[in-house]
Chain A
Amino acid sequence: MQILGHFNYWIFIILMMCGFYMVIASDNLIKKLVGLGIFQTSVFILYISMGKITGGTAPIVIDKAVVYSNPLPHVLILTAIVVGVATTSLGLALVVRIQEAYGTIEADEILAQDRDDSL
């Protein structure tokens, strides 16, 4: 019982670490952004699962309902999703510009080109 009670947190940790690994281990900039998106969604899952009450219903007022799940995390995550898409699109625009300037979107090749330029 006590062990299964933390199941949602472990799912969140596994997903978050997948995203984290993708961000730090891959050199491709678009893959890094996808990893960042996975990281982000795992945080959403953490918040939403904290707001859930066993036996509760969605926080829309109806006569029959007794317990509502916590609406506050829902509001925060609604904002976070939209902001997340805005930042992701800004990152993708930067990637497109990097591709135009360097001809590649691999981080190590970009660093190598920078090193050659500074010599």
Chain B
Amino acid sequence: MAAIRLRDLFAVVMLFGIYSFVSASLFVVLDAVDVAFTEASVGAGVSTVFMLGALALTTSKEKPKSARKTLLPLLAVTITGLALVYGTWDIPAYGDPANPIHHHVVQRFIEDSPREIGIPNIVTSVLASYRGYDTLGETTVVFTAAIGVLLLIGGARRPSSGRDNAG
């Protein structure tokens, strides 16, 4: 990712949008069509719009900085990366049907969900029915975040623009 070296924040945000879209097409290749839909619309679309909005409200140029400060982070990143690569030696290989991840509750989801829920899309029935409380929690998080954004930005607008409590 060349986005690290760019100083122009507009280009960084645009590259991030492209990256999200590429990862969405990667999800299609990996059979996760529902995730690809969400990533393309929410990840590549909505979050890019949010970031552009934040750029419009702040500034789109990054200040240059000295090269001295990049050495320590680079070292930390390299060490962490090597440790993670070392950790992959024990992980089961990609695409193997015998992997432990495929042998727990999933078998039951695949076999019984069309009969129990009546929807051919297994992802939907797991999301909305078997793990419905997760989705409820997700909605709570999104609601809380929306309240937070409104309090942070919406509250600040009023004194700076000089309006009274009209709205």
Contact = CB atoms under 8 A, between A and B. Distances in A.
Contact of A81 (B43, B53, B62, B135): B43
A77 to B, nearest CB: 5
Determine the main DSSP class of A at the interface with B.
helix
Interface in A17-57: 17-18, 20-22, 24-28, 30-31, 33-35, 37-38, 41, 44-45, 48-54, 56-57
Given A20-B77, A28-B63, A57 B31 contact: yes
Interface residues of B, number: 84
Contacts of B70: 25
Interface string A77-98: 1110111111111101111110
A49 B28 CA distance: 11
B4 A26 contact: yes
Determine the main DSSP class of B at the interface with A.
helix
B144 to A, nearest CB: 8
Contacts of B4: 18, 21-22, 25-26, 35
B153 A85 contact: no
B135 A50 contact: no
A81 B42 contact: yes
Interface of A: 2, 5-10, 13-18, 20-22, 24-28, 30-31, 33-35, 37-38, 41, 44-45, 48-54, 56-62, 67-79, 81-90, 92-97, 99-100, 105-106, 108-109
Contacts of A7: 94
Interface in B95-148: 95-97, 99, 101-102, 105-106, 109-110, 113-114, 120-123, 126-127, 131, 134-135, 138, 141-142, 144-146, 148
Given A25-B70, A78-B38, A41 B20 contact: yes
Given A58-B33, A82-B38, 15 more contacts: A2-B93, A5-B95, A17-B84, A20-B77, A35-B4, A38-B3, A44-B39, A51-B32, A62-B120, A69-B32, A75-B127, A87-B145, A89-B47, A90-B148, A100-B160
Contacts, number: 254
7 contacts: A24-B77, A25-B73, A54-B97, A59-B121, A69-B31, A86-B141, A96-B152
B32 A74 contact: yes
